[in-house]
Structure 1
Amino acid sequence: MATPATLNPTVHLVDDDADFRDGLAWLLDSRGLPTQAWAAGDAFVQAVREQGLADTCAVVLLDIRMEPLSGLATFEQLKALGWHWPVLFLTGHGDVGMAVAAVKNGAWDFLEKPFQNNELVDKVEAARQAAIDWHTHSHERLRFQRALASLSAREREVLHEMLQGHYNKNIADHLGITQRTVEFHRANILDKLQVQSAVELAHRMGQLNAQGRGPTDPT
């Protein structure tokens, strides 16, 4: 698994204007950013579908007006395929309204042509950092979910009691076990979930539930 230090998100440049596409690819390459250019939205969508690109940390620069598949239609198809990486729309003055709507619908940002090179690169770098952060956090969420799934039935019962803020003696009384057994399960839970305290555990569970990626009740 790649770490944040080794991640280097590819910038997928999708534009049907060959001259503009080549110039932008040269700009990004000159700044040391890995870039892959695509001449059409449907070609990129097909690659995402067939090559598993949605699982690879990346950023998309997407022209809003393209043929035969527009940038907006491309974006909708990407979302349908589970694309969760930042998408930055490139738009002309007359298309700003559409770009704003796209951002409200989940796009990362948009940039109006003509733009300053440094402004574009700054936005791309911000999007790349967001992709790295999402990648890192998503793997941590997955690790935490797998650790939760590995808990035994009794550990899940103790976990539920811990999240209610109950002390070891109360947990022992509620579950009909000894306080020493509760302490044993409690230590195992903290070790498996890689947290230091019940407070940190409650915080992590709250984050998981807020993201809609975990159960509201571990039992």
Structure 2
Amino acid sequence: MNRTTQHESSSPIVHVVDDDEAVLDSVSMLLDSIGLSNICYKNAQVFLDAYVEESFDKHNGCIMLDIRMPLISGIECQHRLEKLGCCLPIIFVTGHGDVPTAVEAMKHGAMEFIQKPFREQQLIDALQKALQVNFKNQQRLEKIQQTQAKLASLTNRETQILEAIVAGKANKVIAIDLHLSQRTVEIHRAHVMDKMEVRSLAELVKVVIDASATS
């Protein structure tokens, strides 16, 4: 049965996955003591089952994964999470002989690995770093979602003109391509700038490219 400690529903959650009951107990107590919400899982399968549930917060938090676990290893769990599109930072906990494996895991996106036995402060520092990265990623995603909402608010004509602007075309060229007067293009361009809430052409191009990269 999972043990759960959640101080606020909106707070980031540290997901601790380890088959060692003593590790789960000690890490959960440590995280409780510094006010970090945490959920413990006795193996990778239990965690994966929880991850695919609709109620699982797939965006806010991080994962602490033991490498050596029965049935499904931490590495295999990482691969399965990758296929599921998981974006939560992963920290691996390893035994001495697992270091080459952990290094390989980092090449596949793991953020860090910690060798057992680890110092409490070492673990705290690693988890807080992971949560900071997660927070910055969430800010970036939120900004992109806002940009995509603004793009959706544009009319078909404004979208045409925006695409031409991003392609580097001047107003005169856009007017010729769309069979419009240059003044009409300028008016639409002003509306686009206003709706996208940007002040310069460079800013407009940047936010559009950033949003397109993740769409």
Question: What TM-score, normalized by structure 2, do the two folds share?
Answer: 0.88
Q: Any conservation in 2 of the 1:10–1:34 contact (CA below 8 Å)?
A: yes
Distance of 2:71 and 2:175 partners within structure 1? 66
Distance of 1:101 and 1:52 partners within structure 2? 31
What's the secondary structure of 2:143's corresponding residue? helix
How many residue pairs were aligned?
Answer: 207
* Post-superposition CA distance 1:22-63 (Å, at most 9, x none): 001111111111111111110010011124425341100000
Runs of 5+ unmatched residues, structure 1: 1-5, 215-219
* Post-superposition CA distance 1:82-101 (Å, at most 9, x none): 21110100001100111111
Change (3 A) 1:136 1:13: same
Question: Which residue in the other structure is 2:53 paired with?
Answer: 50
Distance of 1:194 and 1:55 partners within structure 2? 29
Q: Any conservation in 2 of the 1:54–1:83 contact (CA below 8 Å)?
A: no
Quote how far apart the aligned CAs of 1:20 are: 1.3
Question: Which residue in the other structure is 1:66 paired with?
Answer: 69
Question: Which residue in the other structure is 1:19 paired with?
Answer: 22
Question: Which residue in the other structure is 1:105 paired with?
Answer: 108
1:84 and 2:126 matched: no
Q: Any conservation in 1 of the 2:93–2:114 contact (CA below 8 Å)?
A: yes
Root mean square deviation, CA, Å: 1.9
Change (3 A) 1:166 1:51: closer
- 2:201 corresponds, among 198, 201, 215, to 198
Percent identity, please: 37
Quote how far apart the aligned CAs of 1:7 are: 5.3
Q: Which amino acid is 2:98 matched to?
A: D
* Post-superposition CA distance 1:155-208 (Å, at most 9, x none): 122112322444434433432222332222112211222222211011223334
* Post-superposition CA distance 1:71-111 (Å, at most 9, x none): 11111222222211101000011001111111101112111
- 1:40 corresponds, among 40, 43, 48, to 43
What's the secondary structure of 1:90's corresponding residue? strand
Q: Any conservation in 2 of the 1:64–1:89 contact (CA below 8 Å)?
A: yes
Runs of 5+ unmatched residues, structure 2: 1-8
